[in-house]
Amino acid sequence: MHEIDPGFLALPHRQLADAALDRARSLGVQHADFRFERIRYQHIRARDGQLQGASESEDVGLAVRVIHRGAWGFASGVVLDPAEAVRLAETAVATAELASAMTPSPVELAPEPVHADETWVSSYDIDPFAVPLDEKVALLTGWTARLLADPRVEHASAAVQLVLENKFYADLDGTTTTQQRVRVDPEAEVYGSNAERGIFDSMRTIAPPAGRGWEYLTGAGGHDWDEELATLPELLEEKLHAPSVEAGRYDLVIHPSNLWLTIHESIGHATELDRALGYEANYAGTSFATLDKLGSLQYGSPIMHVTGDRTVEHGLATIGYDDEGVAAQSWDIVKDGVLVGYQLDRSMAKLHPDLNEGRSNGCAYADSPGHIPIQRMANVSLQPAVDGPSTEELIADVQRGLYVVGDRSWSIDMQRYNFQFTGQRFYLIEDGQLRGQVRDVAYQATTTDFWGSMSAVGGPNTWVLGGAFNCGKAQPGQVASVSHGCPTALFREVNVLNTTAEAGH
């Protein structure tokens, strides 16, 4: 395990915390917590063998949150001085005093054991910010030059986003945590055209972003980039010449590189309790999976087992402790196809003590020191069958269907119920055999019909931890990274649209 970056530890976070919390205590608050964060970002882009851009930024600041007179108060700043920490505490209390007149029910927090002076570091080998910039640029420009050398490729691009997040948390109960997370998001894409058909299209890598270090891009982190890059030109050429799909009902064998996004939109967001309660509606709607359906809603087939998890290794939402000082946990969301749990923060856990035994499951997070923590998504994952089939065995069980690989576009309604998804590539299945790519495909369903049609899930050898860096939520908007693990799975008789035909309607 790596040590916390000494540069972060040298910053005066403990002095600032003491000043802010002491002042909040003297003003008679019911609760106060303090966050000090330093987040480093780097984004590098290459195209056709040339560097397109490289940027690096750093976000450093402190935040004070209080409950006073039954209401939330919050303030944040960037001046690293104890007097500023005191001022922020006073501002947070003054904000709570104003908010108390508009708060119909007093805010209370579910209890959490004290975690005193705890340290947590995510699992990675090489700090990406310790790697020289020219080495990172050489890798990406080398990828695109290699791809462009293939005559089937007209253009090639590659990019990587890198994040190093340090966070110190303290509260009046005595919890203090210091954490460090590293995450990387690399991708490469090739572009081409078929002049005879008037088609321009692309093919992208399906390697997911991960809570790993630079080793992930050099082949030591569990993914063979050379092998995947070598396949892109051929996959693109096949896609450009593939026939357009015939709309209708198909069995779908869906690879984790596509299914993770369907999980994210139709299960992950739908089981955030603030959406189910109607608290969150501004950004992307509420949820059909309302609290009155807990324990009775048949979310999917009996083989469906979905967990929330803040502990899985290399997960983008994996932490040691959340932004309310709650230790990371894992729990059931859907069990035997039935809705059995939600994602909670401490205030919602207090309001609904029947959930998670009255304890938050560690789902509070702010994307910067300038934002207040909100209820945020865990790594929501579909579990494999212990002795489940391989992807090849799932395909062999299909007479007429499609094999779906890679994510592309998606659309889902404001209740997380009606949706359609496309993908990077679709292969026709006939009599248990792959018959080549087809194009212009989208699958469409309601959430419960889709998951209810799941007839088989693959074994552990098919399970992949996918995810994204750009999950948006709340007003003002916040962006968070989250992973979703799943096996390859088989869905029966799903409605498939021809997107070209639909575009003419």
Do 166 and 301 fall within a single domain? no
pLDDT value of position 281: 87
What share of the chain in percent tops pLDDT 70? 100
Residue 436 in domain: yes
pLDDT of residue 407: 97
Whether residues 227 and 368 share a domain: the answer is no
465-474 average pLDDT score: 95
Amino acid (one-letter) located at 108 = E
Q: H or E segment at 293?
A: none
Q: Provide the pLDDT for residue 208.
A: 97
Task: Match 């708060």 to its residue by tokens.
Answer: 103
- Same structural domain for residues 282 and 384? yes
Structural domain includes residue 28:
yes
pLDDT confidence bin for 58, thresholds 50/70/90: very high
Please compute the mean of the pLDDT values over residues 209-217 and round it to a whole number. 97
pLDDT recorded at residue 386: 96
Label the pairing between strands 400-405 and 248-254.
Answer: parallel
Rg of the chain taking only CA atoms, in angstroms: 24
Tell me the pLDDT tens digit for each residue of 280-304.
887 778 999 999 999 999 999 999 9
Look at residue 47 in the predicted model and tell me its pLDDT.
98
Q: Does residue 101 surpass a pLDDT of 80?
A: yes
**Do 228 and 337 share a domain, yes or no?**
no
Residue written as token pair 């979703």: 484
CATH number at residue 178: 3.30.2290.10
pLDDT at 145 over 90: yes
184-196 pLDDT per residue, tens: 999 999 999 999 9
Q: Using the Cα atoms of residue 136, residue 140, residue 141 and residue 146 in order, give the sign of their dihedral.
A: positive
- The tokens describing 467, both together, are 């995810």
- CA–CA dist 392, 371 (Å, integer): 46
The answer to whether 257 and 424 have CB atoms below 8 angstroms apart is yes
Closest CA to 432 of 462, 403, 461: 403
**CA dihedral angle for residue 95, residue 98, residue 99, residue 102, rounded to 10 degrees:** -170
Residue (of 231, 230, 206, 211) closest to 221 by Cα position:
211
pLDDT at 357: 95
Domain that holds residue 272: 248-503
Same domain, 199 and 253: no
Q: What is the pLDDT of residue 240?
A: 98
- DSSP codes of every residue in 7-45: HHHTS-HHHHHHHHHHHHHHTT-SEEEEEEEEEEEEEEE
Kindly report the number of other CB atoms within 10 A of residue 272's CB atom.
29
Helix (H) or strand (E) holding 496: strand 489-498
Does residue 477 carry a pLDDT above 80? yes
Does residue 1 form part of some domain?
no
Query: What's the pTM value of the predicted model, to 2 decimals?
Result: 0.97
Task: Say if residues 339 and 451 touch (Cβ distance below 8 Å).
Answer: no
- The DSSP output letter for 268 is I
Task: Give buried/exposed letters for 87-103 (b at 16+ CB in 10 A, else e).
Answer: bbbbbbbebbeebbeee
Pair 268, 360 in one domain: yes
Q: What is the pLDDT of residues 108-129, one digit of tens each?
A: 999 999 999 999 999 999 999 9
In this structure, are 203 and 262 located in the same domain? no
Indicate the residue among 241, 260, 289 that finishes a domain.
241
Q: Residue 467: which of 102, 208, 211 has the closest Cα?
A: 208
Over residues 19-36, mean pLDDT:
98
Other Cβ atoms within 10 Å of 123 Cβ, number: 17
pLDDT at 252 over 70: yes
* pLDDT in the model for residue 418: 97
* Shared domain check, 493 and 394: yes
- 282 with 206, same domain: the answer is no
- Tokens read off for 342: 């939600």
CB neighbour list of residue 358: distance below 8 Å, 6 or more residues apart? 110, 111, 349, 350
Q: Which of 208, 226, 241 is the last residue of a domain?
A: 241
* Residues 6+ positions from 430 with CB-CB distance below 8 Å: 399, 400
Note whether 275 and 210 are same-domain residues.
no
228 and 83 in one domain? yes
Decide if pLDDT at 10 tops 70: yes
The pLDDT value recorded for residue 505 is 67
For residue range 306-316, what is the model confidence (pLDDT) as tens digits? Answer: 999 999 999 99
111 three-class SS: coil
Say if residue 293 is in the same domain as residue 314. yes
Residue 504 pLDDT > 90: no
Encoded tokens for 53: 């851009």
The total of structural domains in the chain comes to 2
Instruction: Report the mean per-residue pLDDT for the chain.
Output: 97
Domain boundary residue, one of 241, 271, 296: 241
